[in-house]
């Protein structure tokens, strides 16, 4: 029987708070300064109070755990996990940090809408590289001309070229390797999907449009997978599902979340429609870079696992209508869960 996220108890909060502070390598005063300050920039508690909290559970342990959960954009129930489970997932906290009371707690900045100049230049660059590939003047894996040469070619500044290259990197068209240069991605077929990629990437409501298209692709992907999946396809899908199941049981949240993309892309591969698979990969990549929403929640993880299980079961049994319904339910719930 699958072990649910059970054994949650406030008694674990003190040790988990201490584990988190030590992982951040912060003194008690710095920990309070960065994560436990109110709107008036006053501490929620004293150093002596924090010392007491880290030693034993009290009636207000859950309150302070909720403050930390808000600062790290995670579910406060995570502080009630057994310490061994909590410790292996601390990096999930760090990945979900956000700004609190005006303090910047992370260097991770999602891609935002670019200026029209950068958009135009990036589009021109992608068209240039596409023409080079079609003319057999460049091939996947080739190194691009230097920033200086590209700037001269397009009659723009090197800063603009670098910004445009960052956009192409997000779209998966190029690989920027620090100290080595910029290279055409190994799968040149991505270049011939760029018109649709640009439709996703640009516009004031880009996230809404990307999600809408992604949902259409996901439903058709599930339908075709249930119809076309071979025994080899299903074995590959099973390997990913079983690995995510193991991560879920072992409460390795970060690995479970990482496998979410692999699970959906494996379904797309089962469809035997390479264009659909590539478009789905592009749309999911853009959602990841554009979206700033989503809070890590134990209830969410439980729900995602159950929904994935139902999708996997119907695809493996070649029940196409049921697979579509299961995927539709999963996507609708995801919109609610992450306010997308």
pLDDT value at residue 191: 55
Average pLDDT over residues 262-278: 91
Ranking 175-179, 215-219, 280-284 by mean pLDDT, the lowest is: 280-284
pLDDT value at residue 93: 65
pLDDT band for position 232 (cuts 50, 70, 90): very high
Number of H helices, E strands in the chain: 16, 2
Q: Which two tokens stand for residue 178?
A: 């620090």
Query: Taking the complete model, does pTM exceed 0.75, yes or no?
Result: no
pLDDT digits (tens, 9 = 90+) for 53-103: 888 888 889 999 999 988 887 888 889 988 888 887 777 666 655 434 444
For the domain with range 10-95, which CATH number is right: 1.10.260, 3.30.70, 3.30.300, 1.20.120? 1.10.260
pLDDT value at residue 236: 94
Average pLDDT of the chain is 80
* CATH number for region 203-338: 1.20.120.530
- Is the pLDDT at 233 greater than 90? The verdict is yes
Q: Which two tokens stand for residue 73?
A: 């954009």
- Is the pLDDT at 311 greater than 70? The verdict is yes
Instruction: Name the residue with higher pLDDT: 199 or 44.
Output: 44
pLDDT digits (tens, 9 = 90+) for 121-180: 887 888 788 778 778 888 888 999 999 999 999 888 998 898 888 878 866 678 888 888
Domain ranges of the chain: 10-95, 116-192, 203-338
- Is the pLDDT at 310 greater than 80? The verdict is yes
% residues pLDDT > 90 (the chain): 31
Using an 8 Å Cβ cutoff, are 241 and 306 in contact? no
Using an 8 Å Cβ cutoff, are 16 and 83 in contact? yes
pLDDT band for position 112 (cuts 50, 70, 90): very low
pLDDT value at residue 23: 82
Q: Which of 201, 304, 173 is nearest to 247 (CA)?
A: 304
Ranking 57-71, 216-230, 246-260 by mean pLDDT, the lowest is: 246-260
- Indicate the angle between helix axes 298-316 and 206-228, nearest 10 degrees: 40
Using alpha carbons only, what angle is made at residue 78 by residues 310 and 289, rounded to the nearest 5 degrees?
A: 65
Q: Exposure of 57 by Cβ count < 10 A (0-12 exposed, 13-18 middle, 19+ buried)?
A: middle
Pairing status of strand 174-177 against strand 181-184: antiparallel
pLDDT band for position 1 (cuts 50, 70, 90): very low
Q: Which residues contact 75 (CB under 8 A, 6 or more apart)?
A: 69, 295, 296, 297, 298, 299, 300
pLDDT value at residue 192: 53
CATH class of the domain defined by 116-192: mainly alpha
């Amino acid at each position: 029987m699958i072990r649910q996220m059970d054994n949650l108890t406030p008694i674990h909060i003190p040790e988990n708070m201490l584990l988190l502070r030590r992982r951040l390598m912060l003194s008690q005063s710095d920990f309070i300064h960065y994560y436990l300050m109110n709107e008036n920039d006053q501490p929620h508690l004293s150093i002596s109070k924090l010392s007491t909290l880290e030693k034993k559970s009290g009636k207000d342990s859950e309150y302070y755990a909720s403050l930390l959960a808000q600062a790290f954009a995670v579910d406060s129930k995570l502080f009630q996990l057994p310490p061994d489970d909590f410790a292996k997932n601390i990096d999930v906290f760090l990945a979900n940090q956000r700004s609190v009371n005006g303090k910047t707690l992370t260097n991770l900045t999602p891609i935002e809408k670019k200026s029209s100049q950068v958009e135009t230049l990036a589009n021109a660059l992608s068209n240039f590289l596409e023409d080079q590939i079609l003319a057999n003047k460049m091939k996947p894996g080739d190194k691009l001309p230097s920033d200086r040469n590209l700037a001269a070619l397009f009659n723009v500044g090197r800063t603009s070229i670098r910004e445009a290259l960052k956009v192409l990197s997000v779209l998966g068209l190029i690989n920027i390797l620090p100290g080595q240069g910029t290279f055409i991605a190994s799968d040149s077929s991505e270049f011939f999907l760029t018109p649709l990629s640009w439709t996703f990437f640009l516009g004031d409501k880009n996230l809404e449009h990307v999600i809408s298209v992604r949902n259409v692709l996901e439903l058709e992907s599930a339908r075709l997978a249930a119809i076309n999946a071979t025994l080899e396809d299903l074995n590959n899908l099973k390997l990913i599902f079983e690995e995510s199941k193991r991560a879920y049981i072992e409460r390795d949240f970060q690995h479970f979340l990482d496998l979410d993309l692999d699970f959906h892309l494996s379904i797309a591969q089962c469809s035997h429609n390479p264009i659909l698979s590539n478009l789905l990969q592009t749309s999911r990549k853009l959602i990841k870079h554009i979206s700033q929403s989503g809070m890590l929640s134990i209830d969410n993880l439980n729900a995602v696992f159950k929904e994935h299980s139902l999708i996997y079961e119907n695809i493996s049994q070649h029940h196409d209508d049921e697979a579509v319904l299961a995927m539709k339910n999963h996507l609708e719930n995801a919109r609610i869960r992450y306010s997308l």
